Structure 1
């Protein structure tokens, strides 16, 4: 079954998202994001399966030759898992800064591969990446006795 993705990374995409139907277009949208923000800051896009009423979506970020992937679905939220480093990185998404663990950064080729897999599998979590659970800031703190 053929799928399409809707990609949002500029304010005007609220009315008219970028539509991705092929693996080639998935790579092209990442390259457009990289070119548009090359001299400014890391940029992030929200990606959903067109027409989906489901819970699955991704955020993909681009910063030069690296990027990040976040996935939310029925089993929870996850960030890509890259090289072990500490701290956070900040990506810009439609007027907001999004902080992610620094070890969420992976090679841009893996971001592209994850986006293509999300397209071809219809919204499932890509298997081409290692994943780490998202920290939930609203979670109840654990009491240690």
Structure 2
């Protein structure tokens, strides 16, 4: 099976033309861009091109990825048939990340080491947009 890849949105130009990820190296570059970019762009939405769209043309899912360059942690949510969030080992309270200048909150207890974020996004790419199993997940409360 040939993987079509991922679409990402975290830069203003992505609202017109989303970024594309098609390899593990692309995922690393994407996470590095979030870590090293502007503080108001440390969160992204990711869509698998391998999953079908709804009859409306919208995607049937959304993976949100937030990273904290100082703590070297991040958090993930996957919204599809259910809303799941990464299950972290550290609880620093509500994780606030910025998606194109807008606050995106992740529930307490959802932050994981940055390397686990990388691994989960790579798995999301490689498995065609299915839930990554390399990390633990929990139901999102909000």
Give the TM-score of the pair, scaled to structure 1: 0.84
User: Any gaps of 5 or more consecutive residues in structure 2?
Assistant: 54-58
Q: CA RMSD in A?
A: 1.7
Larger-gyration structure (1/2): 1
Deviation at 1:96, TM superposition (A): 1.2
2:120–2:135 contact (8 Å) kept in structure 1: yes
Task: List structure 1 runs of 4+ shifted beyond 3 angstroms.
Answer: none
2:40–2:101 contact (8 Å) kept in structure 1: no
Structure 2 partner of 1:44: 43
1:124 to 123, 130, 136: 130
Structure 2 partner of 1:73: 80
Alignment map for 1:127-138 (pairs within 5 Å):
127-136=133-142
Count of residues in Structure 1 that have an aligned counterpart in Structure 2? 133
1:42–1:62 contact (8 Å) kept in structure 2: no
Give the TM-score of the pair, scaled to structure 2: 0.85
1:87–1:101 contact (8 Å) kept in structure 2: yes
